[in-house]
Amino acid sequence: MRRITLSRYLIEEQREKGKINADLRLLIEVVARACKSIAIAIGKGGLGEGGGILGEAGSDNVQGEAQKKLDVLSNEIFLEANEWGGHLAGMASEEMELPHAIPNRYPQGEYLLLFDPLDGSSNIDINVSVGTIFSVLRCPEGADPTLQDAFLQPGTAQVAAGYAVYGPTTLLVLTVGDGVACFTLDREIGSFVLTEEKLRIPEETKEFAINMSNRRFWEAPVQRYVDELLAGKEGPRGKDFNMRWVASMVADVHRIMTRGGIFMYPLDSKIAAQGGKLRLMYEANPMAFIVEQAGGAATTGRQRIMDLQPNALHQRVPVILGSRNEVAVVAGYHAQD
């Protein structure tokens, strides 16, 4: 069998398909290398001084969330890996209030990289899958990449997006707008190897993912939808549904990429003032791009996620994504509301 590494896959996307240029190829290779470093750090767990990578960093991020040591470390790994290659104009991260400027000593490139360096922070200390999410945009002509305005582009402007899952195996799932490919980290050789091409999300599903503890705070259309799923065979849907909630978006989305389903972090009255829980620029948009490229759909309930015009780097939005037909049912209930 022909073994296709990430490098080879990217070369082919560049040379044969003309989907990416050399700079974007380098960018993705560097991101993959950073993900490898994070995977290695995670693998060490509590080994090492002061509890290793586990535990609190003792600081808060701009969103007022307590940072874990691994949030801070993963952010540093991403910044350090991506600064010097010459492919980036700027970077923005969940863990930094403002965009990170590329130091003057390095050349500037045409791309902007946005990332959630460590997704699923609450799962680090209990040894459950966590991940990294990233999105790539072009820096608009004449825009200052040290200011957030350069980054405020709709999801439809993304040129690449991906996520890494640090689970029993480390996976990298990637789209450059030419379908979705999944790579598995071969730990002995140290490279990502293509293990699935053209991922497709099944259109029909019997599985949903939502944090049920928020039920009383949801809006009516989401309450109606989930109540109908829970009613099972005897209810209006006429079939039983199963539920899963890992509480790491990457792991929940990856399950949907693999066997279908619907993932929801809808608006609820507790978080209404902030617009939702998940962040548009480095969680919702890249996941929406990947899910759409795999034949699924992603909406806030009222609007396609990738059509939203962002107004802030750390903007939050409701997220409903996954199997196309189920997402359509939820969107339909919102339209009737």
Q: How far is the CB of 278 from Mn ion (least distance, A)?
A: 7
Contact with ligand AHG (CB under 6 A) among 13, 110, 119, 326: 119
Q: How far is the CB of 60 from ligand AHG (least distance, A)?
A: 12
Which positions from 273 to 312 touch ligand AHG by CB under 6 A, shown as an x/- string?
A: ----x-----------------------------------
Which positions from 119 to 148 touch Mn ion by CB under 5 A, shown as an x/- string?
A: x-----------------------------
* Beta strand pairing call for 207-209 and 242-243: parallel
Residues whose CB is less than 8 angstroms from the CB of residue 203 and which lie 6 or more positions away in sequence, other chains included: 260, 295, 323, 324, 325
In the list ligand AHG, Mn ion, none, the entry touching 122 (Cβ below 5 to 8 angstroms by class) is ligand AHG
Which residue is it, tokens 């980290």? Answer: 185
Residue 146 lies near ligand AHG (rule: CB under 6 A) = no
Q: Are 250 and 132 in contact (CB under 8 A)?
A: yes
Count residues binding ligand AHG (CB under 6 A): 12
CA distance 204 to 183: 25
Query: What b/e string do you get for 159-195 counting C-beta neighbours within 10 Å, with b at 16 or more?
Result: bbbbbbbbbeebbbbbbbeebbbbbebeeeeebbbbe
| Candidate segments 26-34, 37-45, 219-227, 242-250, binder of ligand AHG by CB under 6 A | 242-250
Q: How far is the CB of 168 from ligand AHG (least distance, A)?
A: 18
Residue 252 lies near Mn ion (rule: CB under 5 A) = no
| Candidate segments 137-145, 168-176, 241-249, 289-297, binder of ligand AHG by CB under 6 A | 241-249
DSSP β-bridge partners for residue 268: 218
Q: Tell me whether residue 26 or residue 249 sits nearer to ligand AHG (CB atom).
A: 249
Distances (CA, A) of 151 to 7, 133, 157, 292, 333: 27, 16, 10, 21, 32
Residue 121 lies near ligand AHG (rule: CB under 6 A) = yes
Count each helix (H run) and each strand (E run) in the chain, helices first: 7, 17
In the list Mn ion, ligand AHG, none, the entry touching 207 (Cβ below 5 to 8 angstroms by class) is none
Contact with ligand AHG (CB under 6 A) among 248, 285, 299, 323: 248
Contact with Mn ion (CB under 5 A) among 68, 74, 102, 116: 116
In the list ligand AHG, Mn ion, none, the entry touching 20 (Cβ below 5 to 8 angstroms by class) is none
Q: Tell me whether residue 121 or residue 293 sits nearer to ligand AHG (CB atom).
A: 121
CA distance 301 to 173: 25
Collapsing DSSP to helix, strand or coil, 51 comes out as helix
CA distance 327 to 201: 12
